[in-house]
A and B are shown apart, each in its own frame.
Chain A
Amino acid sequence: GQNIDQPTEMTATEGAIVQINCTYQTSGFNGLFWYQQHAGEAPTFLSYNVLDGLEEKGRFSSFLSRSKGYSYLLLKELQMKDSASYLCAVRVFKAAGNKLTFGGGTRVLVKP
């Protein structure tokens, strides 16, 4: 199976930066994903890394180090609407097809 660890909760101030770390242990690694989920809503795709390095998408960036089994999601210029849970997910090769395993999620609370 896969072990995916991320902090349960983080608090940050509007306009600031927050970094959400995710560590994983898996065999057959085939990509790392970040999803955002507002309370009571469905997860929505944020980013995807399969190679080492940083992927930037507007205010959000995601970093991957495969050798360390480590990723982070960086949220810049925080806005109140960024208050949500952020789910780290690992995709692995499977004979039957690739599948995602999600971490428990990090609840981010943005304060004024």
Chain B
Amino acid sequence: DARVTQTPRDKVTEMGQEVTMRCQPILGHNTVFWYRQTMMQGLELLAYFRNRAPLDDSGMPKDRFSAEMPDATLATLKIQPSEPRDSAVYFCASGLRKASADMINEQFFGPGTRLTVL
């Protein structure tokens, strides 16, 4: 049963510390998304990649957030330095865009990383 995996599942850290979240997309999927979910803002897109290239990171605070895909099996989201307002659940999702289609229709979400910044 192919699934998106994320580590860590929970992270508690202090303000100013660096946080790195990792995601392993479903094998063969070529599109990866990072979302953030809070009670106030709901689910927001931070960044997404296709074939490891960043396509859109307009939802991400550039001064402290960075997202990369070192290889096809790993996506990372880094926050440095972290702030209490970054506390949220961070979801990674993946999908497959076929060459014959303009877009993907289904995104598969990982279990999320619950981040608490004190």
Chain A residues close to B by CB (< 8 Å): 30-31, 33, 41-45, 48, 87, 91, 94, 96-105
Contact = CB atoms under 8 A, between A and B. Distances in A.
A98 B91 CA distance: 18
Nearest to B58: A96
Given A43-B109, A105-B42, A105-B43, 6 more contacts: A41-B111, A42-B109, A97-B56, A100-B107, A101-B45, A102-B42
Majority SS of interface residues in chain A?
A: strand
Interface of B: 42-45, 48, 50, 55-56, 91, 102-103, 105-112
Given A41-B111, A43-B91, A48-B106, A96 B56 contact: yes
B106 A97 contact: no
Contacts, number: 44
A91 B50 CA distance: 16
A44 B109 contact: yes
Contact of A87 (B43, B56, B106, B110): B43
Nearest to A104: B42
A99 B43 contact: no
Contacts of A99: 45, 48, 56
A42 B44 CA distance: 14
Contacts of B105: 31, 33, 48
Contacts of A105: 42-43
B108 to A, nearest CB: 7
> Which one of A30, A42, A96 has the highest number of Cβ atoms from chain B below 10 Å of its Cβ?
A42
B56 A103 contact: no
B43 A43 contact: yes
Contacts of B43: 43, 87, 102, 105
Which 3 A-B residue pairings sit nearest by Cβ, starting from the closest?
Answer: A42-B109, A102-B43, A97-B55
B103 A100 contact: no
A45 B45 contact: no
B59 to A, nearest CB: 9
Given A30-B103, A102-B43, A104-B42, A96 B55 contact: yes
A42 B91 contact: yes
